[in-house]
């Protein structure tokens, strides 16, 4: 194994990319859309349209990689760029007829992929056909016409002057001609050009040949090639054949056999050009800087091109067209040296991680794994090498989904690589195979009563994000929401569902069905019954639980909020109904949900708690009005702290503390020892949460030092039988007049020095299970909870945790 190996894996001649740039048209003056909102900038529409191109995979097309928006409507398109443009080759070499036929065939193959997606190339020329080392070709820059809404979003014409079909010129610039046949014309012209030939009666081809003094070459052409070109160069579009028809021609048979031996499955790629591009960016690659360095982005100082006069109508006067904004079709290749250097020491084994069978012997021969533990998540996400290892690993795991579900979960607990987050999330959400078909069958067109509300909400949903504010984004979001409403007739559309969908759509922009499937699995798991037409009971229960959780972890804060009458229902409803997706910007939601997806439906309560904890100092010194103001526009929240804090409380809180009646039983199965049958009225009265017998039993057995059990039954009963390690403070012996712990007598010191133990209060039907915990709460004792049911729950438990009360 040589040291150079891995880099040579990266140094594949086809794994190279380049960029082009142009300006989108600026909106003139101050126009508004039909909904009264400002128009979406054209560059954003382009970004949205271009996403589709990322899904196109064909050996004869360059992979589309990225689209970047700069200031002032600058748009940069990054795509695979490898091989040599035909224009360069035909200058030096003469291609054989066979080679030409092959090029024609492959170009047609590429075009037919595009045409099936209703994409017209329009830019076909010998500059845009790249010949690879093995003689195959790839078409480049085929997306410009599509992403610019057929050229309407840019001010320059999308075409190659020499190769453009006559009807394009004849219909004028604004016509937005989308007939695919224009590509066929271009193809014909191209092939002709390759033959270095260059009319009207008999044949256009013949005429062009004569004009270029190449009539002899023309006459010597094999008949099939001649026919092909003639078929392409018919001036009547209707008589020009389509891609499919041309591909069916007999003279292509010789290629068909080699090409069409399709494998049953696509082979697994260790990594793709998309990932290479991603690593390149992390390793410091900057498309914008490269374009600048190579002179494609020239900027003249803005002070030299100011308008002189702006009228109240919005008319700008005296501003010349900045020559730097003209369309320059040059392509700039991106240098990859830095990336190669950065990855030079990565051993080849790192490309092929062993997942299922890894022996100690193999491990010991491996170099130590790249260590990024302990670094903040944001740093890890920016570390090219760390992301390299994560992406390589997750790719493999995702390839094996659903069989690797557990492994994916296990790895996701460490962190989720941003590049693959969409797929990892859908794996964590158990999205089943065949989700596309399910989605396709849903009606997203027919008019429903919620349409109006959806249409009002969408242009207000995370619009700072380019994808979500694009025309395509709006369209897709609407479809997903309509599909959800259609499928879940038992539920209604609540405002907030749009925000909830936004992260899924953002991550699966090109796979609506997957975004929908994620949403469909997400809601039952975390927001069961929240979208009922009457969801008051569910929400009230949830809020009551939230109050109790605050009391449990932060009695001081809970007491303060109680004193100033600041109830969670005043601020937390949008939090829970959208699981914070209405509160935070997308990049924060992603990190938050990364963890949420690994936890159960009680996790959002802990997130809420951690937000309050971050604002704790301000809340404690604020009155009701200040609190309302504070929450009306939530201050910046440190999301990493928030995630860590909520994980901590989530892990240290017995699950039954947050148990709810309206939880989805499917994800949280309950038995007799769990909490069941608590009415909302009861719940709202209780300031401290209940704990289930099951949780007490578990803790007593496994971590007896984590719990302080206080038995408040009378001494006689306690001595007859009690839980191991419990202390007896008979209810009747305590005076509740003052909120002083010392009133509890001898055991007060135990409570004072309890640390972070859970304080569970055990009583029976004769004891008052409200005053005692409330008293502790008012004394600012944390983690107070009450046994659900009474002492007798424990009697039937085997093996027993009871003892006869002589230990005290």
Partner 1 sequence: MPEKKDFIYINEKHGIEYSLLIPYEESVEELAHILIIQFNLPIYIEKELTQHLRIFIEDRTNEYFEEISDQVVQKGKDHEIPIDDIVKNWEKLMREEIIEFGERRCASDEELFATAYHKLVHSPALETMLQLEHMYSKIVRQKTEEKNALIKKLSDSQSEEMNKAVDRLEQDMTESKINELVARHYESHSLLQGQLSSELDTLKEAQRREYREWVMQMLEQNQANSSLPTPSSPLMPVVPRNFQNTRANSRDQINSPLLEESFTIHLGSQLKQMHNIRILSADVMDLCSIHDDEQLSEPTPQLLQTALGLYSNDLSGLVLMTDNKIGSRLTQEFQEVCQQTTEFHFPHIEDQLNKISSIAQQHFKNPQNGSSRNSNSELLQTGDFYMTRHSNLAQVHVIFHMVTDDSIRGIDINSRHPVVLGLRHILKTACSNDITSLTIPLLLQYEMTEEMTINWCEKRAELVFKCIKGFMIEMASWGGSELKNLQFMLPQGISQAVFTSMTEMLPRIFKVCNPKILA
Site for partner 1 in 234-253 (CB under 8 A): 235-238, 242
136/328 with CB nearer partner 1: 328
| CA-wise closest residue to 193 among 177, 173, 208 | 208
CB 123 within 8 A of CB 159: yes
Identify the residue among 367, 635, 745, 755 touching partner 1 (CB under 8 A). 635
Nearer to partner 1, 309 or 798 (CB): 309
- Least Cβ distance, residue 187 to partner 1 (angstroms): 16
CA geometry: angle 688, 694, 696, nearest 5 deg: 60
Pick the closer one to partner 1 by CB: 532 or 586.
586
Among the listed ranges 139-147, 161-169, 352-360, 744-752, the one in contact with partner 1 (CB under 8 A) is 161-169
**Minimum distance between the CB of residue 183 and partner 1, rounded to whole angstroms?**
12
The interface region with partner 1, picked from 41-49, 269-277, 707-715, 785-793 by CB under 8 A, is: 41-49
8 A C-beta contact, residue 367 and residue 347 = yes
Characterize 557-575 residue by residue with b for buried, 16 or more Cβ atoms within 10 angstroms of its Cβ, and e for exposed. Answer: bbbbbbeeebebeebbebb
Pick out residues in 309-368 that bind partner 1 (CB under 8 A). Answer: 309-318, 321, 323, 326-329
Q: Tokens 């953002």 appear where?
A: 506
In what helix (H) or strand (E) does residue 101 lie, and over which residues does it extend?
helix 97-116
Does 150 bind partner 1 (CB under 8 A)? Our answer is: yes
Q: Is residue 73 exposed (0-12), middle (13-18) or buried (19+ Cβ within 10 Å)? A: buried
When the beta carbons of 91 and 313 are compared against partner 1, the nearer one is: 313
Tell me which residue of 49, 77, 76, 84 sits closest to 63, measured CA to CA.
77
Q: Judged by CB under 8 A, which stretch of 295-303, 358-366, 387-395, 564-572 contacts partner 1?
A: 295-303
Specify the residue, 327 or 340, whose C-beta has the smaller distance to partner 1.
Answer: 327
Choose between 390 and 462: whose C-beta lies nearer to partner 1: 462
Give the nearer residue to partner 1 in terms of CB position, either 180 or 606.
180
**Which of 36, 267, 302, 677: binder of partner 1 (CB under 8 A)?**
302
Of 91, 260, 633, 681, the residue at the interface with partner 1 (CB under 8 A) is 633
Residue 41 as a binder of partner 1 (CB under 8 A): the answer is yes
Write the CA distances from 673 to 457, 552, 700, 705, integer angstroms. Answer: 44, 21, 15, 22
CB-wise, 24 or 334, nearer to partner 1? 24
Tokens of 761: 């209060």
**Which of 219, 270, 306, 344 is close enough to bind partner 1 by CB under 8 A?**
306
Stretch of 93-101, 162-170, 376-384, 514-522 contacting partner 1, by CB under 8 A? 162-170
800 phi and psi angles, rounded to 5 deg: -70, 150
Point out which residues pair with 709 in neighbouring strands: 760
At 369 the three-state DSSP class reads coil
Query: Which residue reads 């909302």 in tokens?
Result: 680
Please report whether residue 171 would count as binding partner 1 according to CB under 8 A: yes
Token readout for 391 is 């992406």
374 binds partner 1 (CB under 8 A): no
Query: Which residue, 24 or 708, is less far from partner 1 as judged by CB?
Result: 24
Closer to partner 1 by Cβ: residue 312 or 798: 312
Q: Is 288 in the site for partner 1 (CB under 8 A)?
A: no
Integer CA distances (angstroms), 298 to 184, 301, 393, in order: 35, 10, 41
Task: Tell whether residue 157 is a contact of partner 1 (CB under 8 A).
Answer: yes
Q: Is 284 in the site for partner 1 (CB under 8 A)?
A: no
Closer residue to partner 1 (CB): 590 or 601: 590
Site for partner 1 in 116-145 (CB under 8 A): 118
Which positions from 48 through 87 interact with partner 1, judged by CB under 8 A? 69, 71-73
SS3 709: strand
* CA 366 – CA 755 distance, rounded (Å): 44
Shortest Å distance, C-beta 576 to partner 1: 17
Judged by CB under 8 A, how many residues of this single chain contact partner 1?
82
Find the binder of partner 1 among 278, 584, 731, 775 (CB under 8 A).
584
Query: In whole angstroms, how close is the CB of 628 to partner 1 at the nearest point?
Result: 14
| Binding flag, residue 32, partner 1 (CB under 8 A) | no
Token output for 152 = 């309407």
Enter the tokens of residue 182: 């224009």
Please, which residue, 41 or 143, has the CB nearer to partner 1?
41
Report the C-alpha dihedral over residues 314, 315, 317, 320, rounded to 10 degrees.
Answer: 100
At a CB cut-off of 8 Å and minimum separation 6, what does 440 contact?
513
Q: How far apart are CA 231 and CA 167, in angstroms?
A: 16
Query: Binder to partner 1 among 6, 14, 18, 43 (CB under 8 A)?
Result: 43
Tokens for 238, please give them. Answer: 């209707």
Q: Give the x/- contact pattern for partner 1 in 175-214, rule: CB under 8 A.
A: xxxxxxx---------------------------------
| Token duo for residue 692 | 């289930």
Tokens representing 777 are: 């709460």
Closest CA to 260 of 108, 109, 83: 109
Does 304 interact with partner 1 (rule: CB under 8 A)?
yes
Residues 413-472 that bind partner 1 (CB under 8 A): 440-446, 462-465, 469
DSSP state of 669: -
Residues numbered 82 to 101 that lie near partner 1 (CB under 8 A) are none
Draw the binding track, 710-739, toward partner 1 (x: CB under 8 A; -: no contact): ------------------------------
Among 10, 15, 19, 44, binds partner 1 (CB under 8 A): 44
Decide if 610 contacts 646 (C-beta within 8 A): yes
The two three-digit tokens of residue 272, written as one number: 């793709």
Cβ–Cβ under 8 Å, residues 145 and 123: yes
Q: Applying CB under 8 A, does 537 fall inside the site for partner 1?
A: no
Q: Does 230 bind partner 1 (CB under 8 A)?
A: no
653: buried, middle or exposed (CB in 10 Å: 19+, 13-18, 0-12)?
A: buried
> For residues 76 and 288, is the Cβ–Cβ distance under 8 A?
yes
């Amino acid at each position: 194994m040589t040291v150079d190996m891995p880099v040579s894996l990266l140094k594949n001649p086809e794994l190279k990319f380049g960029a082009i740039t142009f300006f989108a048209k600026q909106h003139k003056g101050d126009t508004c859309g039909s909904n009264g909102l400002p128009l979406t900038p054209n560059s954003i529409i382009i970004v949205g349209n271009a996403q589709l191109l990322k899904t196109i995979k064909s050996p004869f097309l360059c992979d589309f990689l990225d689209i970047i928006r700069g200031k002032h409507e600058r748009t940069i398109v990054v795509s695979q760029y490898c091989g040599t443009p035909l224009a360069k080759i035909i200058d030096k070499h003469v291609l054989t007829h066979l080679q030409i036929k092959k090029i024609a065939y492959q170009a047609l193959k590429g075009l037919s992929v595009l045409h099936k997606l209703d994409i017209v190339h329009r830019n076909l020329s010998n500059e845009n056909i790249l010949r690879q080392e093995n003689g195959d070709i790839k078409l480049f820059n085929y997306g410009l016409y599509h992403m610019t809404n057929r050229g309407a979003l840019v001010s320059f014409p999308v075409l190659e002057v020499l190769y453009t079909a006559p009807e394009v010129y004849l219909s004028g610039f604004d016509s937005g001609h989308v007939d695919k046949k224009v590509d066929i014309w271009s193809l014909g012209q191209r092939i002709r050009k390759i033959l270095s030939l260059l009319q009207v009666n008999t044949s256009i081809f013949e005429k062009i040949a004569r004009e270029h003094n190449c009539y002899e070459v023309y006459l010597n052409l094999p008949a099939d090639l001649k026919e092909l070109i003639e078929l392409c160069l018919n001036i009547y579009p209707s008589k020009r054949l389509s891609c499919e028809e041309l591909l069916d021609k007999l003279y292509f048979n010789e290629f068909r056999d080699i090409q069409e031996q399709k494998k049953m499955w696509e082979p697994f790629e260790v990594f793709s050009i998309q990932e290479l591009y991603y690593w390149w960016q992390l390793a410091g690659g900057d498309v914008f800087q490269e374009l600048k360095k190579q002179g494609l982005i020239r900027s003249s100082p803005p002070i030299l091109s100011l308008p002189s006069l702006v009228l109240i109508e919005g008319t700008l006067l005296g501003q010349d067209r900045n020559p730097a904004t003209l369309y320059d079709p040059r392509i700039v290749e991106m240098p990859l040296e830095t990336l190669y250097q950065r990855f030079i020491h990565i051993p080849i084994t790192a490309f092929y991680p062993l997942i299922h069978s890894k022996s100690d012997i193999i491990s010991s021969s491996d170099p130590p794994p790249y260590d990024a533990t302990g670094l903040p998540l944001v740093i890890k996400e920016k570390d090219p090498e760390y992301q390299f290892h994560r992406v390589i690993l997750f790719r493999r795991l995702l390839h094996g989904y659903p069989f690797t579900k557990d492994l994916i979960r296990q790895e996701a607990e460490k962190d989720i690589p941003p590049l693959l987050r969409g797929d990892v999330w859908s794996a964590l959400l158990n999205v089943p195979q065949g989700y596309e078909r399910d989605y396709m069958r849903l009606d997203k067109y027919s008019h429903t009563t919620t349409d109006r509300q959806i249409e009002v909400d969408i242009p207000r949903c995370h619009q700072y994000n380019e994808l979500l504010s694009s025309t395509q984004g709006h369209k897709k979001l609407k479809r997903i929401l309509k599909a959800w409403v259609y499928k879940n007739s038992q539920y209604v559309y609540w405002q907030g569902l749009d925000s909830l969908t936004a992260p899924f759509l953002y991550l699966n922009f090109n796979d609506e069905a997957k975004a929908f499937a994620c949403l469909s699995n997400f809601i039952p798991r975390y927001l069961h019954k929240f979208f009922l037409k009457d969801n008051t009971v569910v929400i009230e229960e949830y809020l009551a639980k939230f109050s109790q959780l605050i009391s449990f972890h932060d009695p001081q804060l809970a007491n303060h909020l109680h004193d100033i009458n600041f109830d969670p229902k005043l601020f937390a409803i949008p939090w829970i109904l959208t699981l914070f997706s209405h509160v935070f910007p997308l990049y924060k939601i992603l990190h938050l949900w990364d963890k949420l997806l690994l936890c159960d439906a009680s996790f959002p309560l802990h997130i809420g708690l951690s937000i309050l904890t971050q604002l704790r100092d301000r809340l404690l010194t604020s009155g009701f009005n200040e609190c309302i103001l504070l929450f009306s526009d939530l201050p910046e929240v440190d999301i990493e702290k928030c995630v860590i804090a909520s994980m901590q409380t989530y892990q240290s809180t017995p699950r039954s503390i947050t148990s709810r009646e309206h939880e989805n039983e499917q994800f949280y199965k309950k038995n007799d020892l769990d909490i069941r049958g608590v009415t909302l009225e009861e719940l709202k009265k209780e300031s401290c949460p209940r704990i289930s017998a099951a949780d007490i039993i578990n803790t007593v057995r496994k971590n007896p030092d984590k719990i302080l059990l206080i038995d408040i039954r009378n001494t006689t009963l306690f001595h007859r039988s009690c839980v191991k390690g419990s202390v007896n403070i008979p209810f009747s012996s305590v005076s509740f007049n003052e909120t002083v712990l010392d009133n509890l007598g001898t055991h007060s010191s135990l409570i004072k020095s309890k640390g972070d133990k859970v304080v569970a209060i055990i009583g029976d039907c004769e004891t008052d299970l409200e005053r005692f915990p409330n008293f502790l709460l008012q004394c600012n004792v944390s983690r107070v909870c009450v046994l659900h049911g009474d002492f007798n729950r424990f009697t039937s438990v085997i093996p027993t945790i009871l003892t006869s009360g002589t230990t005290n």
